[in-house]
Amino acid sequence: MNDTKDRLVTATAELFRQRGYNATAVKQIVEMAGAPFASLYHFFPGGKEELGAETIRQSGAIYGQLIDVFFHGGDVAAETEAFFCAAADTVRDSGYADACPIATVALEVASTNEVLRVATADVFDDWLDTITGRYVAAGIDPAAARTLSVSVLALLEGAFLLARARRDEAHVVTAGATAALAVRDAVDRTTTKRPAPKAKAARARPSSRAQPS
Amino acid sequence: MNDTKDRLVTATAELFRQRGYNATAVKQIVEMAGAPFASLYHFFPGGKEELGAETIRQSGAIYGQLIDVFFHGGDVAAETEAFFCAAADTVRDSGYADACPIATVALEVASTNEVLRVATADVFDDWLDTITGRYVAAGIDPAAARTLSVSVLALLEGAFLLARARRDEAHVVTAGATAALAVRDAVDRTTTKRPAPKAKAARARPSSRAQPS
DNA sequence: CGGCCTCTAGAGCGATCACTCTAGTCAGGA
DNA sequence: TCCTGACTAGAGTGATCGCTCTAGAGGCCG
């Protein structure tokens, strides 16, 4: 019977989405889950940190599956835009509470907790791999698909941030239009075999490190 | 002598960047600032919340001035890209600790503290206004410049998140290239008087709400 | 039935949280 | 010189934090 364990993770995921890691008390978690207090430490001997890592990976996997719902091998730019539009509706309907399940935690722990930071990094890795696979399947050059995925995910996460802070889900739709533009550009460059234009930054030269992740 | 007050805000800003709001203890703040404990409550009778709001607005204003450093009326797409490249260097040089001064706090408080949420929203408003002004000055249609600003800021914030979590500042450079692409597209559409293409989402129809912010 | 193992039960632990309190120090103006 | 208000000083407040503890309930297998 790991029903209790699942309920703990589900409750933690909801609290993480809305309040982040540090503001979520274990007491709140067990109350929301309707679980006995000691059960948390039975299933997660590592305490809050272990439960947090498990929740990050689990809800990351669940959200990753949402990508598959929107891509069916049609117009990949339009499908990308549809994903953003659906996300915008979700953000609004939840009262600007539910957007990305791990973004808040990721920023909180990036410089303070290596275990949880790696968990969030792994989830982003998975998402980027999944999105890249979809763009490659649409005929985009693999390296270009990878950088495109980074930009699309950045647009989504950044738009979530702006939408929640400013209480305006239209930002997510706006970001979706830009994402679609970038996808179309990548598709065009692939079909016409044109290389990506080299950066010509105005003042500071571009970073010397490799651009693709 | 408001030297102590300034030091409190400066210390708080640094802690907010690296750990966020909830993980920052007032004890840490006064220690880092070298300030007496009671002084915090003398200058900020509202306590941690008031100090937090002041810090958000102040560091938001400082970072907003950085925008002016990179835009001089030249190639606005290249200037946008240069901004991202410089930001990437900063993220790397700080050990992936210092990126946006308010993003972490913004996500933490978006659903839990209205006072601080409004403070972060005001900062984002200012930034969007500033960026929009630069694009309008470059000849882009005002409405298009506004949505463009939203996408550019979303790209920056999202790239910061990915870069910090995955320890890869190249994501910020990648997002900068996409931002430059979006700027060039907006410039082209303005000079040739072509309207923006209407969204043709594949599965879910676009949100019914207005797209520009 | 008896022994075992998983899971439940909740009081209570020390530490730390944001914050308050009284008692000052010190400079500038009357 | 004295007064007043701005600021410093730090011990101490109750509340809450994550977590541990002992104890026992309940099902499974011999």
Residue A197 — pLDDT band, cuts 50, 70, 90?
Answer: low
Ramachandran quadrant class, B139 (left: phi over 0; alpha: psi -120 to 50; beta: rest): left
Q: What's the pLDDT at A206?
A: 40
Nucleotide nearest A5, CA–C1', reads C7
First to last CA, chain B: 41
Contact B22 A22 (CB under 8 A): yes
Distance A129 CA to C11 C1' (A): 48
Chain A CB within 8 Å of residue B191 CB = no
Instruction: Give yes or no for residue A187 having a pLDDT over 80.
Output: yes
Chain A residue numbers touching B162 (CB-CB < 8 A) = 124, 150, 153-154, 157
Decide if pLDDT at B120 tops 90: yes
Task: Note whether A111 contacts B92, CB cutoff 8 Å.
Answer: no
pLDDT of residue B144: 97
Average pLDDT (A6-24) is 95
The predicted pLDDT at position A190 comes to: 85
Q: What is the mean pLDDT of residues B70-93?
A: 96
Is A112 near chain B, with CB under 8 Å? yes
Chain B touched by A204 (CB under 8 Å): yes
pLDDT value for B190: 85
Q: Cβ of A143 under 8 Å from any chain B Cβ?
A: no
What percent of chain B shows pLDDT beyond 90?
Answer: 82
> What's this model's pTM, rounded to 2 decimal places?
0.91
Q: Is the pLDDT of residue A132 over 80?
A: yes
What is the 3 state secondary structure string of chain B?
A: CCHHHHHHHHHHHHHHHHHCCCCCCHHHHHHHHCCCHHHHHHHCCCHHHHHHHHHHHHHHHHHHHHHHHHCCCCCHHHHHHHHHHHHHHHHHHCCCCCCCCCHHHHHHHCCCCHHHHHHHHHHHHHHHHHHHHHHHHCCCCHHHHHHHHHHHHHHHHHHHHHHHHHCCCHHHHHHHHHHHHHHHHHHHHHHCCCCCCCCCCCCCCCCCCCCCC
pLDDT score at B203? 42
> What's the average model confidence in pLDDT over B148-160?
98
Q: How far is A2 from chain B (nearest CA, A)?
A: 30
Q: How far apart are CA A2 and CA A6, in angstroms?
A: 6
Q: What percent of chain A has pLDDT over 70?
A: 89
CA distances for B84 relative to A5, A50, B48, B169, angstroms: 43, 35, 32, 10
